[in-house]
Amino acid sequence: MDIEFVRSRFVKHFDGNEGNIYASPGRINLIGEHTDYNGGFVFPGAVDKGIMAEMRPNGTESTVRAYSIDLKDRVDFDLNDPNGPKASWARYIYGISLEMKKLGVPVKGYNIAFAGDVPLGAGMSSSAAMESCFACGLNDLFGDNKVSKWDMVLAGQATEHNYCGVNCGIMDQFASVFGKAGCLMRLDCRSREFEYFPFNPVGYKLVLLDSVVKHELAGSPYNDRRNSCENVVKHIAAKHPEGKFETLRDCTWEQLEEVKDEVGAEDYSRAKFVLGEKDRVLAVCDALNAGDYETVGQKMYETHYGLSKEYEVSCEELDYLNDIAKENGVTGSRIMGGGFGGCTINLVKEELYDKFITDAKAKFAAKYGHEPKVYDVVIGDGSRKIC
């Protein structure tokens, strides 16, 4: 992202005055999928792509003048308007402004222009990048930077819940706010404790292959998976009245086996994935500490297998990309995100990279009529004021 580009648009579009510039990244998740609502761990890192915004108080009490540089769209709204703007991109600005006000920041009228380079629809969370970028700016411009990082994470999440209709967890906003170049973060979604893990895979590259497909499925596959997990917990809790079982995080392999017959094959297999994923995240921590990227990769393949065969959230195109990775000797590959489309994340030795990408493009295009998109991943810094 280019500071001069954003500045030139801001100055040209508004009254010629310069504001402050803030930036926040999108994110990847190395491992730990469908674990957040099961009280488990995720393993995200911020990327070097994100949202950049220039912002400046405009002297009004409550008029926000917002310009999306990428969409060439201008929306003005009043912070006191209970409905807020209709444009979906402007709702993030409206929502985060009100959430920051709730945290005690006396937000007044301001001008904002922003642009981004997070690929849309690839699962790198452009929306969290927006929320955390604007939160960082509002905190700086109006709040003396008194709002804590965690409160900004939660304000971003609340924006999605209350103004954008997305009932998300905290991983995306967490990664965008707390990200650090060269580090991944293990986040405990229950306690919110986290730890930085240096990620410095010399000789390897991390690359996303975007299938550019998104399957709209009948019913509600996401809630359906959640229900399966809750059902297994309920059965285990009934067998162990002395214990405290909130989520699958609290359940052991032995306890899962005890309820195998009563919960049925489908719920059993889904719970098996979640317990396995919990173990895999911890195994990846050990492997990263030891600099053992072969084991990291092995765990990524195991996660893909589990998401595909046990949790059943893969699709033909993602399984095909995973197969191509295996054929090319790629160290690790798996679905990234909720599934049913989107990206695979791949850990590949540098010397195999070119052949893998060429092969994946050719084979995928021959079968599905279009090439996957390719995004090299560099682990970057979290939300910050640029100037």
Q: Contact, 30 vs 42, CB < 8 A?
A: no
- Rounded Cα distance, 271 and 380, in Å: 34
Please give the order of strands across the beta sheet that includes 194-198.
41-42, 183-188, 194-198
Show the tokens assigned to 373: 């998109």
Q: Contact, 291 vs 297, CB < 8 A?
A: no
Nearer to ligand ADP, 146 or 214 (CB): 214
Q: Within 13 Å, how many C-alpha atoms sit on residue 28's CB side?
A: 30
Q: How many CB atoms lie within 10 A of CB 188?
A: 16
Which three-class secondary structure state does DSSP give residue 166?
Answer: coil
Residue 127 touches Mg ion, criterion: CB under 5 A: yes
Nearer to Mg ion, 35 or 125 (CB): 125
Site for ligand ADP in 55-94 (CB under 6 A): 68, 70-71, 88-89
Residue 200 touches ligand ADP, criterion: CB under 6 A: no
Nearer to ligand ADP, 173 or 255 (CB): 173
Of 2, 73, 151, 172, which is the active-site residue?
172
Supply the minimum distance, in Å, between the C-beta of residue 176 and ligand ADP: 10
Show the tokens assigned to 181: 């170049």
Supply the minimum distance, in Å, between the C-beta of residue 88 and ligand ADP: 4
Residue 211 touches ligand ADP, criterion: CB under 6 A: no
Q: How many CB atoms lie within 10 A of CB 183?
A: 18
Residue 227 touches ligand ADP, criterion: CB under 6 A: no
Site for ligand ADP in 98-157 (CB under 6 A): 115-116, 120, 123, 125-127, 130
- Rounded Cα distance, 5 and 257, in Å: 58
Letters for 77-116 (x = contact with Mg ion by CB under 5 A, - = none) are ----------------------------------------
Nearer to ligand ADP, 127 or 328 (CB): 127
Supply the minimum distance, in Å, between the C-beta of residue 92 and ligand ADP: 6
Nearer to Mg ion, 26 or 32 (CB): 26
Catalytic site includes residue 376: no
196 — phi, psi (to 5°)? -85, 135
Q: How deeply is 216 buried, as exposed, middle or buried, from its count of CB atoms within 10 A (0-12, 13-18, 19+)? A: exposed
Residue 120 near which of ligand ADP, Mg ion, none (CB within 5-8 Å, type-dependent): ligand ADP
Residue 132 touches Mg ion, criterion: CB under 5 A: no
- Rounded Cα distance, 208 and 185, in Å: 19
Show the tokens assigned to 62: 């409550």
Supply the minimum distance, in Å, between the C-beta of residue 320 and ligand ADP: 22
Footprint of ligand ADP (CB under 6 A): 68, 70-71, 88-89, 115-116, 120, 123, 125-127, 130
Which residues of this protein are in contact with Mg ion, per CB under 5 A?
125, 127
**Residues marked as catalytic:** 172
